[in-house]
Amino acid sequence: MATSTQTYEVEVADVEYLRHGDTPLMARVYKPQGVGPFPIMVELHGGAWVRGDRLNGDSANEALAKLGVIVAALDFRMPPDGPYPASMADIHYGVRWCKTQAAEWNGRPDAIGAMGTSSGAHQAVLLGMRPNDPRYAELSPPAGAEEVDGTLGCVIPISPVIDPLGRYHYAQGLREDVTPPDGMATENVVKSHDAYWQTEEAMAEAAPARILAGGERTALPPALCVARSYEAAHPRPDLDEFIEQYRKAGGQIDVNIFEGEGPGLLSDLSSPIAKETLDLMSAFIHQHLG
């Protein structure tokens, strides 16, 4: 995948995209300043589905925008305000909202993808696979978006926690194939899963590899998965199983695994790994979204 060497100045703005009662949900939008039109990526923060906000990936989102990608980083409901699937409904609405804003942003309404890290990566993949799930699409459409759906042109999961039930059992020490390392805050992991998912049935129902292995017919947008070969919080067998099932179902998924362990791939933008990750993302986005 070729990558452009052109860079852009970036305008950053916080915008309310949705409101639940008196509570606004905000998007931070990073817009490259140039001729365009530019592809748009919806960014979903990590935090075990229960923590974090649109500012988590601020530096990386701005860096990607400098490479010619509009990024819309979303806040969404989390426990105690809303367990699964509340966040998925907010994100689905956010994708439709971005499509209505695309022309004003100098973006392309037909060229929108989603990306995320950890639990946000899981949500990006899940929405990409189920753009028409009535639970995720339950919120009334934004003004002007009556004919717009949640279809994504591509997805980029970064260090995904791709199987909620598998990670839940991992944290509880119930798996024979992989065990958590000493010192991992497994009790906090279990509490986060309980707060967001509430039941093991919900965790299994929303696990992409299990969805595909069970024969559900889903959308399969082009995907780029980037991760480290060892990530204590993300059992590697789950990622391998997802990649296998996605390909078996006919999906295209590019995979880049960095050897060893270490901090988040985009946590230090001065590192060679962060630069390579951003270049991979930019090239993939421009290849599939134009």
Q: Is 26 exposed, middle or buried (0-12, 13-18, 19+ CB in 10 A)?
A: middle
Q: Tokens at residue 36, please?
A: 């365009």
pLDDT value of position 78: 98
Which residue is listed with tokens 């367990």? 83
Helix locations, the chain, DSSP H? 58-66, 86-101, 119-129, 164-171, 186-197, 200-205, 208-213, 236-248, 272-289
Q: Spell out the per-residue pLDDT of the chain, length 290, in tens.
A: 334 578 999 999 999 999 999 999 999 999 999 998 999 999 999 999 999 999 999 999 999 999 999 999 999 999 999 999 999 999 999 999 999 999 999 999 888 999 999 999 999 999 999 999 999 999 998 887 788 999 999 999 999 999 999 999 999 999 999 999 998 999 999 999 999 999 999 999 999 999 999 999 999 999 999 999 999 999 999 999 999 999 999 999 999 999 999 999 999 999 999 999 999 999 999 999 98
- The phi and psi torsions of 30 (rounded to 5 degrees) equal -110, 115
pLDDT value of position 110: 87
Complete domains list, the chain, with CATH: 9-261+268-289 (3.40.50.1820)
Q: Tokens at residue 272, please?
A: 């060679």
Q: Is 127 exposed, middle or buried (0-12, 13-18, 19+ CB in 10 A)?
A: buried
Q: Give the 3-state secondary structure of residue 192.
A: helix
Q: Is the CB of residue 71 less than 8 Å from the CB of residue 41?
A: yes
Q: Is the CB of residue 135 less than 8 Å from the CB of residue 150?
A: no
DSSP secondary structure string, 241-269?
HHHHHHHHTT--EEEEEESS--S-TTS-T
The span from the CA of 168 to the CA of 200, in Å, is 8
pLDDT value of position 290: 86
pLDDT value of position 3: 45
pLDDT value of position 225: 98
pLDDT value of position 4: 53
